[in-house]
């Protein structure tokens, strides 16, 4: 699904082009059906006793149209959910996570902004900074896990989900999961990034730490988890632990994706971070998992973003 490592040197293009096709086919099919429906009207030279064409009766019940709305952003249920901040309701109005994704990729979702930092579907990367740069999420809550730093806040929906995830991991016998970092403000990201640059130089810093205004942590939707056994380990020690393996396999069921996988580095520009979880909600995470995606960029058909703009 990912482009080869060489693809990052090619002209920017969507890592996925195929998934737009099914929608196109569906739209074509709908168009053909309407053409069939209207055809008898155009050629109505037939005797008036002619029975009504079967196709006219069948059109309203065609499943293709019922599964994926031809214009989801015209659906009252979608607009109502969006205006009330009910992201899950909006996704449901599209027909679920996969239909939502497909509509975005096909350009059939003009009411969905991937750059709205308050939405579950926001994409933040090296070419898509936070807008506004000093955005602060509403409704922050304490991460209900043992913390190893004082950055222990995330959005309340994320806090609830990560608590459930950690409980499930413990119940599965893989050990405790703690957290290192949740929400980081713009100001804290300035400090964090500057410390990385001083310690590693800018190139290495950019592979492991976002520049201020470019961090998912600023949305309140991301957190870094650690493995806690007798004591909690650090970020670099997370990969290879039972907790890490469990998270990689199961976090999606709680609405999280592992945002920076090793295979995604050419797309994201970040070295692998098995500890960095991004909350997208259960519907989108399930579609991400089922579709075998490894970056949010390919999931939404966005160009690879391995580098900051010059």
Identify which range of 22-30, 160-168, 220-228, 284-292 contacts Zn ion by CB under 5 A: 220-228
- 224 touching Zn ion, by CB under 5 A: yes
Contact positions with Zn ion (CB under 5 A) in 237-276:
276
The residue at minimum Cβ distance from Zn ion is: 276
Using the minimum distance from each CB to Zn ion, give the nearer residue, 157 or 224. 224
Identify which range of 84-92, 200-208, 224-232, 264-272 contacts Zn ion by CB under 5 A: 224-232
Burial class (CB in 10 A: 0-12, 13-18, 19+), 47: exposed
Q: H or E segment at 30?
A: helix 20-42
Using the minimum distance from each CB to Zn ion, give the nearer residue, 206 or 224. 224
Using the minimum distance from each CB to Zn ion, give the nearer residue, 101 or 276. 276
How many residues in the shown chain lie near Zn ion by CB under 5 A?
2
Residue 217 C-beta: closest distance to Zn ion, Å: 6
Q: H or E segment at 35?
A: helix 20-42
E strands within 134-239?
140-142, 153-155, 176-181, 222-228
Using the minimum distance from each CB to Zn ion, give the nearer residue, 85 or 240. 240
The answer to whether 117 touches 124, Cβ cutoff 8 Å, is yes
Q: Is 282 helix (H, G, I), strand (E, B) or coil?
A: helix
How would you classify residue 232: left for phi > 0, otherwise alpha for psi between -120 and 50, otherwise beta?
Answer: beta
In Å, how far from its chain's centre is CA 294? Answer: 11
Using the minimum distance from each CB to Zn ion, give the nearer residue, 121 or 256. 256
Among 283, 289, 218, CA closest to 86:
283
Identify which range of 113-121, 156-164, 223-231, 285-293 contacts Zn ion by CB under 5 A: 223-231
Residue 153 C-beta: closest distance to Zn ion, Å: 14
Where on the chain is the footprint of Zn ion (CB under 5 A)?
224, 276
């Amino acid at each position: 699904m990912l482009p080869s490592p060489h693809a990052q040197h090619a002209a920017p293009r969507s890592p996925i082009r195929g998934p737009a096709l099914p929608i196109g086919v569906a739209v074509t099919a709908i168009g053909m059906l309407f053409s069939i429906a209207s055809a008898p009207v155009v050629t109505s030279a037939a005797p008036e006793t002619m029975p009504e064409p079967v196709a006219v009766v069948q059109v309203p019940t065609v499943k293709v149209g019922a599964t994926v709305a031809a214009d989801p952003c015209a659906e009252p249920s979608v607009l109502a959910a969006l205006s009330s901040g009910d992201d899950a309701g909006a996704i449901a109005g599209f027909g679920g996570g996969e239909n939502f994704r497909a509509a975005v990729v096909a350009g059939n979702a003009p009411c969905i902004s991937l750059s709205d930092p308050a939405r579950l579907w926001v994409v933040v990367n090296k070419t898509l900074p936070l807008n506004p740069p000093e955005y602060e999420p509403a409704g922050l809550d304490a991460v209900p896990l043992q913390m190893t730093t004082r950055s222990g806040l995330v959005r309340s929906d994320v806090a609830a989900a990560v608590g459930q995830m950690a409980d499930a991991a413990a119940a599965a016998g893989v050990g405790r999961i703690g957290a290192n970092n949740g929400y980081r403000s713009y100001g804290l990201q300035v400090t964090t990034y500057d410390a990385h640059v001083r310690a590693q130089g800018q190139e290495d810093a950019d592979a492991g730490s976002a520049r201020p205004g470019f961090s998912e942590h600023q949305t309140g939707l991301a957190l870094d988890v650690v493995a806690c056994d007798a004591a909690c380990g650090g970020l670099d020690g997370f990969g290879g632990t039972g907790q890490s393996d469990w998270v990689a396999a199961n976090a999606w069921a709680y609405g999280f994706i592992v945002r920076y996988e090793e295979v995604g580095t050419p797309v994201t520009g970040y070295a692998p971070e098995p500890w960095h979880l991004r909350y997208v909600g259960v519907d989108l995470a399930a579609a991400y998992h089922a579709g075998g995606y490894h970056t949010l960029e390919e999931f939404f058909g966005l160009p690879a973003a391995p580098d900051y703009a010059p």
